[in-house]
Chains A and B, each alone.
Chain A
Amino acid sequence: MDLEQKLRELAKHEQYVVPYDPALMNRMRLTIHQRLQSNRKPFPFVVAPIIVVVLIVVFLSGGLEHFRAGGGTGKNIEGENNRVIEYAPAPVISDRLAKMLNMMTSYDDIEIKKTGPSQLAEVFLRADEAHEVETNKGKLQVVIFPENVNAEQIELDEDLTTSGNITYTFTGTELKEELLPLRAKGPTYVYTKSNLLFATNNSSLVGSIRYIFDLREVHSDILTSFGLNWDEYDIYRRIGKRGKDGWSEKQLKDIAIIALRPPDELEIGDLMPAIFFKKGEPIASIIYQKASGVNKLRQYRWDQATEAWILEQNKSIQGKKRKRE
């Protein structure tokens, strides 16, 4: 028997035997955060007396000024080269930022170059956090409010009357007045969605963000209408942009051809079909929406034996009819 061939066949099979399980991933992520916060590790009790002696010696020699001053939190983690890393336990917020960056880069050509603290961090009294995200299309201020805050009520109030001294502030939310008004070199563009606020001086960037969120919302609605969970899928936009979690070139090309040739022909006003790959399973779902608001789903499974996408489901359901430009 040909070992090389059998190994490749076995490998193809093995690639599917550990399915993507969102619950398991979430549990692992939470556990990692808990462990980072508590810095728990099985403590070798034999070492305890030695550590106590060392601590006493160091303390007496004045090496623990930091702890005497009350600065030790006990939650720091020592990195390589004895560098102490401050761990700020804000997993939910950080997770939201990570997911947002992931969405932005999945839906558009936006590349993240740098992230850091935003100038708006202290301005909004009710904001959870604010980041400055530097992208290939310009800088973007991202403000994340708690889930129960509707950022869509917030409006930009700009004073462009004095050239070279443009100032702006916001209305519709509580602000730290002493930091206002904010100054800008040019016009500021704001986009708000749910509990998020984006501000930038680049009009095309704000347009991209609006497009991403609108399209994401439509896709999410379509998936939900068929009982599918957006979090379990990855959108696929462009062949070759990324390795896309291991899909082969043939798989990608074939599904793209299928997506563009729906059985009921596309009409003016229809949403372009989008391909979603299920995480951890050889399943591709093609979704789109007719101008009439009817949602369409065609779900394919990759058949390794025939090396082809096999249609598993072909469904239609009335969805939300949308106004399109």
Chain B
Amino acid sequence: MRREGKKLEEKEMLPPLSILHSTVDASFEFIMEKHLYDVYRLCCWFIQDKIAAEDVTQEVFLRAYKSLPGFRGESKIETWLYRIAINESKRYLRSWSIRHIFYQAEPDVHEFIEIEEGVVRKEEWRRLATVIAKLPFRHRQIIILHYYEELTIEEIGEILEISSGAVYTRLHRAREKLKALLNKEGEKWT
């Protein structure tokens, strides 16, 4: 259920910064109540493993709690949480133990609903999802934020702390990379 042209600032009321300082626990509860699911879903998309996403989501909120009094309010709470979620997901995927010790689950490319969608379309989506899961993190993150989360270029720039121009460039490169991988499989994607 993502929005069309989602505006982070419109998303919801949040206590102003002063409250975060004075009542950290209550504010933290409020933030968890409002954003736990959003952050969990974002982590699921990044990590492609629901169990691991659960752990990473917990880390995100633990980190957020620790940093809450130092949160300067220069960005929206959602932007800040998404930034932590991306960093924690990246940290998880890059961790030495994940790459060397633990069994890494195949990307969770779930079943598509056959009743509602044609078989051909379903197959296209499956192939596309599989290739996206194989993209380098920097490309995958921009695809997820732009298409799955439906964030605007400006919002993505704010989260990744880069300019809008840089977001456009990264998005273009991610699409090109995706196209190249898909075309390798013998189909013509434009």
Where the two chains meet, the residues of A that have a C-beta atom closer than 8 Å to any C-beta of B are 1-4, 6-18, 20, 24-25, 28-29, 31-32, 35-36, 77-81, 83, 85, 87-88, 90-91, 94-95, 97-99, 101-102, 105, 111-116, 131, 240, 242-251, 277, 279-282, 302-305
B62 contacts A36, CB within 8 Å?
A: yes
Hey, which bits of chain B sit against chain A, CB under 8 A?
A: 1-4, 6-8, 10-13, 15-16, 18-19, 22-30, 32-34, 36-38, 40-41, 44-45, 50, 54, 57-58, 61-62, 65-70, 110, 112-113, 116-117, 121, 124-125, 128-129, 132, 143, 147-148, 150, 175, 178-179, 182, 187-190
- Return A150 CB to nearest CB of chain B, in Å: 24
From A31, A81, A243, name the one whose CB has the most chain B CB atoms within 10 angstroms.
A243
Q: Is the CB of B22 within 8 A of A115?
A: yes
Chain A residue contacts of B65, Cβ below 8 A: 32, 36, 77, 85, 87
B33 CB to nearest chain A CB (Å) = 5
Contact A85 B1 (CB under 8 A): no
Known contacts A16-B1, A245-B1, A305-B117; A83 and B70 CB within 8 A of each other: yes
Name the distance in Å between A88's Cβ and chain B's nearest Cβ.
Answer: 6
Of all chain A residues, the one with the shortest Cβ separation from B121 is A9
Known contacts A3-B190, A28-B58, A242 near B33 by CB under 8 Å: no
The residue that B29 contacts in the complex, of A25, A95, A247, with Cβ under 8 A, is A95
Q: Is the CB of A29 within 8 A of B37?
A: no
Distance to closest chain B CB from A308 (angstroms): 13
Residue from the list B12, B25, B30, B68 in contact with A242, Cβ < 8 A: B12
Across the interface, which residues of A come within 8 angstroms of B113, CB to CB? 13
Contact call A246/B1, Cβ cutoff below 8 A: yes
On whether the beta carbons of B33 and A99 are closer than 8 Å, the reply is yes
Count of A-B residue pairs with CB < 8 Å: 184
* A1-B37 in contact (CB<8A): no
Closest 5 CB pairs of A and B: A98-B29, A80-B70, A11-B147, A246-B2, A94-B29
List 11 A-B pairs, Cβ < 8 Å: A1-B187, A1-B189, A6-B124, A7-B143, A16-B1, A28-B54, A98-B30, A99-B33, A102-B30, A115-B19, A246-B3
When C-beta atoms are compared, the residue in chain B nearest to A12 turns out to be B2
- B58's partner among A1, A35, A91, A280 (CB-CB below 8 A) is A35
Closest CB in chain B relative to A76 CB, distance in Å: 11
A242 and B10 in contact, given A3-B182, A80-B70, A304-B116 (Cβ under 8 angstroms): yes
| A83 / chain B contacts, CB cutoff of 8 Å | 69-70
Contact yes or no, A1 B124, CB < 8 A: yes
| Other A-B pairs beyond A13-B125, A85-B68, A97-B26, 15, CB < 8 Å | A1-B124, A3-B189, A10-B125, A10-B128, A14-B45, A14-B129, A25-B37, A29-B36, A94-B29, A95-B29, A98-B30, A98-B32, A102-B34, A114-B15, A243-B10
Name which of A9, A251, A279 has the most chain B CB atoms within 10 A of its CB. A9
Cβ contacts under 8 Å, A102 to chain B: 30, 33-34
Q: Which of A2, A14, A243 has a CB less than 8 Å from the CB of B6?
A: A243
